Amino acid sequence: MIPINKPQLDDTEREEILKVLDEGILTSASNFGGKRVQDFEGLLANFLHVKHAVAVNSGTAALHASILAAGIKESDEILIPSFTFVATANSVACTGAKPVFVDIEKETYTINPLDLEEKITKRTRAIIPVHLYGHPAKMDEILEIASKHSLLVIEDACQSLGSSYDGKQTGTLGEMGCFSMYASKVLTSGEGGAITTNNDDFAAKLRMIRNHGMVSGYDTRIIGFNMRLPEISAAIAKTQMKKIQSMLDKRAINAKKLGELLTNKVDNQDMILPQENPRVIYNWYLYTVAFNNYRNKVKKLLNENGIGATIYYDPPVHQTPYYSKFHNGELKITEWASRSVLSLPVHPSIRENDINFMVSKVGEALKS
């Protein structure tokens, strides 16, 4: 079996976890978190060249906390893509705000700046661009629109740790950036997340929000929850940070090889491959292709041969039973993408023979 993603764990993570168990301090309710939480936050902030990193217990918590820190209120509107994992929308809705769905661009599966600006109203308070599959959204255009309309930008960078736009890391371009450390992500702690910001006030609020709004003891100052990252999870994340670049490099090598073989050995008239450009670098969280006609056929054959090719996301959020009530207008490319995309594994455990096998099966499916 070739899984769609696989955590890159070894003895270094085991050793760090055992140290936590030996010390017996599994979590901390202090404002700045436990020792390993702080260690991880420092490593992440240095890697991203950002002032603050605040660890939480999931990517969803990162999004939720960021929206709360931004002061979003009930009946405010936040512009988001529908082509994303539902956590983006859930984090908006659970604050009482309204998610307004924006269409995407076909080339990157990220939010379309033209449709974005058309959907701004007097109630719009923020934009959450999603760097889907590790593909950076057009942040220069998004930030220009946000500045023009006095809107906050909270980046959903849950899938894009290590991706960059115009030389800057995703998650560092808006007021806040949200990351996930779920088991399938480029860097994992099993479950976990983090928010990055250069704003001291936001950082202080985020540390309170993750800890029931408290600073010192039972002094709740703002609304908050238990979003703390446990020390065992932080221990894993801390160790993962020390090998993040090598994991990203291996993904890039695998993606390049896969792209070259799909281009040269497969009749790809029906297949659209992901393409970097001089302004972006992908972290290659997933290698996502699109088929105008044969997506399900290709997926079926690959899965039958033990290749974990996976569809993300069908249906898109606006077509799910709960969020259909928020739907506002045509999302043509979003709906095309949900019918067409297929993600292939390129994680560091993938070997050259795995890539050759995947390519041969894609070609077989298209020929048949």
Per-residue pLDDT of 255-271, as tens digits, reads: 999 999 999 988 778 89
Position 41 pLDDT exceeds 80: yes
pTM for the structure as a whole: 0.97
Residues contacting 22, CB < 8 A, separation 6+: none
Instruction: Select from 309, 301, 260, 338 the least CA-distant residue to 84.
Output: 338
Residues contacting 334, CB < 8 A, separation 6+: 81, 82, 83, 101, 103, 104, 316, 318
| Per-residue model confidence (pLDDT) at position 222 | 96
**CATH code for position 336:** 3.90.1150.10
Could you tell me if residue 212 is inside a domain?
yes
Could you tell me if residue 145 is inside a domain?
yes
Mean pLDDT to the nearest integer, 303-324 = 97
Could you tell me if residue 254 is inside a domain?
yes
Pair 80, 101: CB distance under 8 Å: yes
Could you tell me if residue 361 is inside a domain?
yes
Domain span at residue 346 reads 244-367
* Overall domain count for the chain: 2
> Do 270 and 215 fall within a single domain?
no
Reported confidence tier of residue 368, pLDDT bands at 50, 70, 90:
confident
| Per-residue model confidence (pLDDT) at position 325 | 86
Measured between alpha carbons, how far is 332 from 78 in angstroms, rounded to an integer?
A: 20
Mean pLDDT to the nearest integer, 57-82 = 97
Reported confidence tier of residue 330, pLDDT bands at 50, 70, 90:
confident
Which residue, of 193, 211, 241, is where some domain finishes?
241
Could you tell me if residue 1 is inside a domain?
no
> Do 77 and 90 fall within a single domain?
yes
Look up residue 292 and give its two tokens: 């105008």
Phi, psi torsion values for 319, nearest 5 degrees: -100, 5
> Do 197 and 274 fall within a single domain?
no
Mean pLDDT to the nearest integer, 286-299 = 96
| Per-residue model confidence (pLDDT) at position 11 | 97
Reported confidence tier of residue 233, pLDDT bands at 50, 70, 90:
very high
> Do 190 and 286 fall within a single domain?
no
Reported confidence tier of residue 329, pLDDT bands at 50, 70, 90:
confident
Q: Which three-class secondary structure state does DSSP give residue 104?
A: strand
Could you tell me if residue 131 is inside a domain?
yes
Span between the terminal Cα atoms of the chain, in Å = 23
> Do 209 and 326 fall within a single domain?
no
Mean pLDDT to the nearest integer, 119-147 = 98
> Do 194 and 227 fall within a single domain?
yes
> Do 96 and 228 fall within a single domain?
yes
Which residue, of 211, 241, 271, is where some domain finishes?
241
| Per-residue model confidence (pLDDT) at position 229 | 98
> Do 134 and 83 fall within a single domain?
yes
Which residue, of 192, 212, 241, is where some domain finishes?
241
Could you tell me if residue 3 is inside a domain?
no
Q: Which three-class secondary structure state does DSSP give residue 126?
A: strand
> Do 68 and 148 fall within a single domain?
yes
| Per-residue model confidence (pLDDT) at position 266 | 86
Strand 52-56 relative to strand 193-197, pairing? antiparallel
> Do 208 and 259 fall within a single domain?
no
| Per-residue model confidence (pLDDT) at position 267 | 76
Could you tell me if residue 22 is inside a domain?
yes
